[in-house]
């Protein structure tokens, strides 16, 4: 398995999915090596949970940049010479350069695409220009140019892969339309989470107090890396209207990132004070107690991409979720059934939806119960691992010319 990031690099969806899949495969008796970018501390290799992880010297940590293609191909060739590989799995586009090179089936899992990134950058560029945030606008324009180049250089390689995994209905359609991946090579496997770790439990009053809510005060929870495209700024702008409808409402923001300073300044300018509390990053094992303490989970992302795992985690904890109607999110959330969809970037609409959810606890509880069932039935780790294994088998058979249709 190739991935630009691993858990040692920090928190994030791609590393969580890749590592969960690697551990799940190893637990079923498969021999798994995860090849990723260099570590800052220089460690070259380690073994954990029966998975071997190789950190490639000479590469840029967390980025499949210039040296990555050559160095990663050499690493795979060395591994194949000693251990006779059966399949290469690329998490994102970082391994598609190996398709057709080593007489081995190459499977690619797409958690997002260049097309998604381009559209997100265009939206952020408009938001930043309208608000006078010219430095952020310049950054959005730069990322747009990088993604455009990568679309041209990497997009064609995707069609050479023996199988491509779409992680949502929306991604499936995009891969077929914009990347022209043939339907016979496209497979649907939804990302999964640990439904045993994220399982409903009573709220702990001490945790609610830690998050800023006392007694029966309504508590909103956002869990995200703090970057502009995660949209937390829109939730902060929505909070005064939510408070007006539901007095005493509090917001806890769990996560960290480069945009945190901007968000804290926005919170101050809005006069939110202690009503919006920045918790910082926390260990995965602590998150279930945080979800359990919340009355509503809110994900206001403006990023056009796959669905954030935090949405699935909150749903698995039987929490009502209010999330942006964007990208692949509708694969995970059916509006009014197991969650609530909000227009992305619209603070007023977000406030109205959150206030309605808080005003009707009985309905919120029913929606939350169905949310738990949705995740257990469609987004479990077991489903993800078993679905991926079937894709491996299909790809290997197609490469041998057996059952290629």
Give one DSSP letter per residue of 180-248, joined into a string: ---GGGEEE----B-TTTS---PPPHHHHHHTT--TT--EEEEE----GGG-HHHHHHHHHHHHHHSTT
Mean pLDDT of the chain: 95
Query: Which domains, ranges and CATH numbers included, belong to the chain?
Result: 7-194+381-399 (3.40.50.2000), 205-378 (3.40.50.2000)
Please give the average per-residue pLDDT across 224-241, as a whole number. 97
Q: What is the pLDDT of residue 401?
A: 64
The angle, 0 to 180 degrees and rounded to 10, between the axes of the packed helices 361-378 and 347-359 is: 100
pLDDT band at 150 (very low <50, low <70, confident <90, very high): confident
Residue 283: how many other CB atoms lie within 10 Å: 7
* 152-201 confidence digits (pLDDT tens): 888 888 999 999 999 999 999 999 999 999 999 999 999 999 999 999 99
Extract the tokens encoding 264: 């804290």
Query: What integer pLDDT is reported at residue 11 of this predicted model?
Result: 85
Pairing relation of β-strands 163-166 and 106-110? parallel
Structure tokens at 63: 């980025």
pLDDT digits (tens, 9 = 90+) for 344-359: 999 999 999 999 999 9
Distance CA 110, CA 158 (A): 10
CA 286 – CA 361 distance, rounded (Å): 25
The side-by-side arrangement of strands in the sheet containing 276-280 is: 276-280, 250-254, 219-223, 296-299, 321-324, 340-342
Note the pLDDT of residue 250: 98
For 104, the 3-state DSSP assignment is coil
Whole-number percent of the chain with pLDDT over 90: 89
What's the pLDDT score for residue 404?
41
Which helix (H) or strand (E) segment is 179 a member of?
Answer: none
Query: Residue 290: is its pLDDT beyond 80?
Result: yes
Cα separation, 368 vs 370, in Å, equals 5
Label each residue of 312-380 as H, E or C: HHHHHCCCCEEEECCCCHHHHCCECCCEEEECCCCHHHHHHHHHHHHHCHHHHHHHHHHHHHHHHHHCE
What is the pLDDT confidence band of residue 301, given thresholds at 50, 70 and 90?
A: very high
Q: Is the model's pLDDT at 83 over the cut of 90?
A: no
Query: Which pair of structure tokens corresponds to residue 44?
Result: 């070259």
The number of CA neighbours under 13 Å toward the Cβ of 118 is 12
Residue 59 has pLDDT above 80, yes or no: yes
Asked if residue 167 lies in contact with residue 110, where contact means CB atoms within 8 angstroms, the answer is yes
Mean pLDDT in residue range 81-92: 94
Q: Where does the pLDDT of residue 402 fall: very low under 50, low under 70, confident under 90, or very high at 90 and above?
A: very low
The pLDDT of residue 400 is above 80: no
The residue among 226 and 405 whose pLDDT is bigger is: 226
What's the CA gap between 363 and 296, in Å, rounded?
12
Quote the CA–CA distance of 218 and 354 in Å, as a whole number. 11
- pLDDT value for 112: 87
Mean pLDDT of 361-365: 97
Whether 82 has a pLDDT exceeding 90, the answer reads yes
| Residue 252's pLDDT band (cuts 50, 70, 90) | very high
pLDDT of residue 307: 94
Q: How many helices and strands, by DSSP H and E, does the chain display?
A: 14, 13
């Amino acid at each position: 398995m190739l991935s630009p990031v691993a858990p040692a690099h920090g928190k994030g969806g791609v590393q969580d999915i890749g590592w969960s899949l690697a551990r799940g495969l190893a637990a079923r008796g498969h021999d798994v090596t995860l090849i990723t970018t260099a570590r800052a501390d220089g460690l070259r290799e380690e073994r954990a949970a029966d998975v071997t992880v190789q950190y490639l010297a000479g590469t840029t940590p967390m980025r499949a940049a210039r040296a990555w293609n050559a160095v990663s191909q050499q690493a795979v060739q060395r591994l194949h010479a000693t251990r006779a590989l059966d399949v290469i799995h690329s998490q994102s586009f970082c391994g598609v350069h190996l398709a057709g090179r080593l007489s081995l089936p190459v499977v690619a899992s797409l958690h997002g695409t260049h097309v998604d990134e381009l559209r997100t950058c265009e939206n952020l560029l408009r938001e930043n220009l309208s608000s006078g945030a010219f430095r952020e606008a310049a950054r959005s324009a730069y990322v747009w140019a990088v993604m455009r180049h990568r679309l041209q250089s990497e997009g064609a390689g995707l069609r050479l892969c023996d199988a491509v995994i779409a992680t949502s209905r929306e991604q499936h359609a995009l891969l077929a339309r914009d990347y022209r991946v043939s339907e016979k090579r496209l497979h649907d496997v939804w990302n999964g989470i640990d439904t045993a770790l994220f399982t409903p439990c009573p709220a702990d009053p001490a945790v609610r107090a830690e998050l800023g809510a006392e007694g029966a005060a309504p508590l909103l929870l956002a869990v995200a890396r703090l970057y502009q495209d995660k949209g937390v700024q829109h939730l902060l702008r929505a909070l005064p209207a939510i408070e007006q409808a539901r007095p005493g409402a509090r917001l806890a923001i769990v996560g960290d990132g480069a945009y945190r300073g901007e968000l804290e300044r926005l919170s101050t300018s809005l006069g939110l004070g202690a009503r919006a509390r920045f918790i910082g990053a926390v260990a995965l094992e602590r998150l279930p107690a945080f979800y359990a303490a919340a009355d509503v989970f809110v994900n206001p992302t403006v990023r056009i991409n796959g669905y954030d795992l935090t949405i699935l985690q909150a749903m698995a904890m039987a929490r009502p979720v209010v999330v942006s109607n964007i990208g692949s999110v509708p694969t995970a959330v059916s509006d009014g059934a197991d969650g609530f969809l909000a227009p992305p970037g619209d603070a007023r609409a977000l406030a109205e939806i959150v206030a309605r959810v808080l005003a009707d606890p009985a309905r919120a509880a029913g929606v939350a119960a169905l949310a738990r069932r949705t995740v257990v039935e469609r987004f479990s780790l077991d489903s993800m691992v078993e679905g991926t294994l079937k894709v491996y088998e299909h790809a290997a058979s197609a490469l041998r010319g057996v059952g290629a249709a």
